Amino acid sequence: MACLNIASLPKHIDEIRILLSDTRLYILAINKARLNDIVSDDEVTIRGYNIIRKDRNRNRGGGCIYMRTNINYTIRNDLKFKKLESRDIIEIQKPSSKPFVITTWYRTPDSPSELFQYFENVIGKVDTENTEHIILGDFNFNCNFDSRDDNCNEILNIADIYNLTQLIDFPTRVNSKAVP
């Protein structure tokens, strides 16, 4: 599994096709896909993958998930919150295994902090089902130990409550504002 911010899927579709043909990724979540109803599924289809779209507009936002065609899944509409820019919440059913849930979330840097409450509600609902939960996304906060922001503290509290583990432990994007 992987998650990428790409700022326009139509602009980068050939690169994504190459990536998926050269790797063993079963699931690829895309943030900032910039899809709308003018872009057809045929334009962004990748052989061997289903696409699950959450369009927004061609200027910003939206996303999709590419999932290998041999994966059995259900879209969990019962777990969605309109205020979150989550793509889809998907339950994967593997043969002879318990199902698990995958959530993707992109939080814009200027989002109000109350969005974390909606996000926690999604996590809480999955937690009551006693189902493994994998969260992919970009929460846009600074968790550097020297300069932790309130958003970082909020997400770390949620992670602590639900026993979640952050797998990426280094900055994935550094800009001049982040460097002292």
pLDDT of residue 51: 95
Question: Exposed, middle or buried, 22 (CB in 10 Å: 0-12/13-18/19+)?
Answer: exposed
| Residue whose pair of structure tokens reads 């790797």 in the numeric block | 23
Q: Output the six-digit token pair for 10.
A: 């139509």
Q: What are the φ and ψ backbone dihedral angles of 101, each rounded to 5 degrees? A: -110, 140
List the 73-75 sheet strands across, edge first.
73-75, 86-92, 100-106, 132-138
Of the candidates 79, 120, 101, the one whose C-alpha atom is nearest the C-alpha of residue 27 is 101
Contact 43, 13 (CB under 8 A): yes
Sorted by where each begins, the domain ranges of the chain are 1-70, 72-168
Name the CATH topology of 1-70.
Answer: Translation Initiation Factor IF3 (3.30.110)
Beta bridge partners of 35: none
Ordered per-residue pLDDT tens for the chain, 180 residues: 999 999 899 999 999 999 999 998 999 999 999 998 899 999 999 999 999 998 877 777 788 999 999 999 999 988 877 777 656 789 999 888 999 999 988 888 888 888 888 889 889 999 999 999 999 988 887 776 666 777 788 888 999 999 998 888 777 776 665 444
Cα angle for residues 68, 73, 78 (degrees, 5° grid): 140
CB atoms within 10 A of CB 16: 19
- Of the candidates 71, 91, 70, 68, the one whose C-alpha atom is nearest the C-alpha of residue 79 is 91
Q: Which CATH architecture describes the domain 72-168?
A: 4-Layer Sandwich (3.60)
